Structure 1
Amino acid sequence: MTVDERAHTLTQARSADRSWRWWWTLPIYPYGERRTMRTEVVPDTIWTFDQVQGIFHVIVPIRMTVVRLEGGGLFVYAPVAPTAECRQLVAELVLIHGDVKYIVLPTISGLEHKVFVAPFARAFPQAQVWVAPDQWSFPLNLPLSWLGLPRDRTYVLPPDSIHTPFGDCFDYAILDTIDLGPGQFAEVAFWHRQSRTLLLTDSIVSLPIVPPSIVQVAPYSLLFHARERSSDPIVDTYGNRLKGWHRICLFTFYFQPSVLKVRNWRQTWRESLTAPERTRENYFGLYPFDWQSQWQQRFTDLRGDGKLLVAPILQTLILNRAPQSTLAWVDRVAQWDFGQIISCHFDAPVAATPAQFRAAFDFLTPEAPPDLSLPAADVQLLRQIDRQLTWWRIIYPAQK
């Protein structure tokens, strides 16, 4: 076998290891092939497993956290797609620390988290599955067993961790279910006492200035958004990777930030004809974005030196529907003595204190000053969506 043939065989094997045949249950990028990156966060105690997800090359990390239990075995928080590569990376920890004992679904609304729990449970048939209360599905609210979760080993998290078999290692706080009208939102924060680590799903994020490693494994999406127009070539440089990542963060947080103008489709189509390549990967040259000169400063303001952030969509459409119960949950979490946070998206781990965690939710208090890092012009689209959905009575109005 020649060197080229060996390389081709190895590439095919890696592709098979990353294959995800159930991609159609959540048909977003990267579809049928998901890479997994394992990182040791606390030596011999906590590991993160990162994959990516996104739409129109707006890709962000999605993260699973695995914790070694003091009595042996592994605890899994918010599973990702159990590809062969992912299972092998978990199996390497199993050989050293024991079986996967517990799998936790800490949310009721995040489809990108819920969709992987059943296949992950099948991959580790000895594990118990624990889910946040008030699980629901759309368009029909089906029993958990109908959604693929094993009937004989799936349990609902009780109000207090002392009633769970992992209560000696963890405490947790359940955010009271927020009724939005067409759906519900809730999250369960877990505190690992030994490592002083707080595990969160979607409520808190921190933006890294450098693209996460898992995003840079296949940097095309970063380079796609680093361009100014369709005719610009895709050039892989460190500067372009940074530029693309910062723009992706603005997309993710605001959908359409004020520093982004969208060209009309006639102009977009005409410019696509000048693209140096017109392939499916670059959407056949379509690039309707026109970034204004202030976009970089807007990212700097948003990031705020890596401070803890509550995503604007949660601020404008979800948590403001139940500010009192949300703040009660925040106050309970802030009583724990944690020193770092691992969230399911963006940067992790993030050094943080309970006071910093509490301050991120100040927008829910009436006496809080305006958050200058979230300009009104940038959240205008989200506020328009909020007003329209409320007017149509699709979602309940925000509470004072």
Structure 2
Amino acid sequence: MSGFVPYAPLNVPKPFGERIWIVDGPEIRMDYGPASMPFPTRMTVVRLPGGRLWVHSPIAPDDALFAAIDRLGEVGWLVAPNSIHYWYVADWQVRYPAAQTLAVPGLAEKAKRDFRIDALLEGPAMPLPDDIAGVLVPGTMVSEAVFFHRPSRTAILADLIENFEPARVRSRLFRGLVRLAGVAHPKGGTPVDMRLTFWPRRRAVRAAMAQILGWDCERVVMAHGLPYESRGAAELRRAFGWAL
């Protein structure tokens, strides 16, 4: 049995705003020492002027998903937003060899699966399409690039905010861990263990958070848990209060 009640239907693009879709994927398990924990997966797809697609945190693909994506447009970018959300980029590169792959600094050295990286998500001039802004939040173990899709006013994250609905967590133990980690809906946030990796670089983290909070954000989508469909700026400020 899976660890979560899924956000069905899976592997189907679901509209989330103007020219933006989310795709909930199959559950995966992440190793934590001798144990492993279940996680739902989600990617975000943005259609840019001209029809090309920007794909954030690609999930495990299948033929039906590829066909659905092809109906939305031509994949122009594949994005590995941190050193955890990269595994399936290689599969998407096989399907879309002309797509440009963007990744956070240091991922090439950390990745346990080979894939091509065309440009790094760093500095004030990230190699992003005009409709998308981005900022790197630097950590010691995990750095994450956070994005803002201007037309839909959507902030796009991977793990910096998680927002698990306790009612969807099947295991009582994991339900308790979700609450202890500070990532339970409606007050989702940055997992406590991840916060510790940012502490040594807190000045740079605070500066990055200030940029994120300056966006005119209405929605927030993340890789794990229930997205925020309104009051996005307020949710970001609340969730990132630990760093401000």
Q: Quote the offset at 1:135 in angstroms.
A: 2.2
Larger radius of gyration: 1
Q: 1:321 to 1:194 in 2, by over 3 A?
A: same
In percent, how many aligned pairs have the same letter? 24
TM-score under structure 2 length normalisation:
0.81
Q: Equivalents in 2 of 1:310, 1:42: separation in Å? A: 22
8 Å contact from structure 1 (residues 253, 313) kept in 2: no
Which of 292, 296, 321 is matched with 2:200 structurally? Answer: 321
Which of 7, 12, 15 is matched with 1:41 structurally? Answer: 15
Q: Equivalents in 1 of 2:79, 2:160: separation in Å? A: 17
Deviations 1:10-33 (A, max 9, x none): xxxxxxxxxxxxxxxxxxx9xxxx
- The runs of 5 or more residues in structure 2 that have no matched partner are 4-8
Q: Quote the offset at 1:158 in angstroms.
A: 4.6
Q: Quote the offset at 1:155 in angstroms.
A: 1.9
Partner of 1:94: 70
TM-score under structure 1 length normalisation:
0.52
Q: Equivalents in 2 of 1:328, 1:43: separation in Å? A: 28
- The runs of 5 or more residues in structure 1 that have no matched partner are 1-28, 30-34, 216-221, 226-243, 256-300, 366-400
Deviations 1:358-384 (A, max 9, x none): 23232345xxxxxxxxxxxxxxxxxxx
Q: 1:326 to 1:57 in 2, by over 3 A?
A: closer
Q: Equivalents in 2 of 1:159, 1:195: separation in Å? A: 24
Partner of 1:395: none
Deviations 1:155-187 (A, max 9, x none): 2235245x63x43110111113x33xxxx3211
- Calculate the aligned-residue CA RMSD, in Å: 3.1
Moved over 4 A (4+): 55-58, 252-255
Q: 1:302 to 1:338 in 2, by over 3 A?
A: closer
Deviations 1:108-134 (A, max 9, x none): x31xx2221112211222211111123
Is 2:148 the counterpart of 1:168? no
Partner of 2:115: 149
Deviations 1:233-272 (A, max 9, x none): xxxxxxxxxxx5xx433234648xxxxxxxxxxxxxxxxx
Q: Equivalents in 2 of 1:337, 1:302: separation in Å? A: 23
Partner of 2:6: none
Q: Aligned ranges for residues 27-176 of structure 1 at < 5 Å?
A: 36-42=10-16, 45-50=19-24, 51-54=26-29, 58-82=37-61, 84=62, 87-95=63-71, 97-107=72-82, 109-110=83-84, 113-138=85-110, 147-150=113-116, 154-161=118-125, 164=127, 166-176=128-138
Partner of 2:213: 334
8 Å contact from structure 1 (residues 48, 65) kept in 2: yes
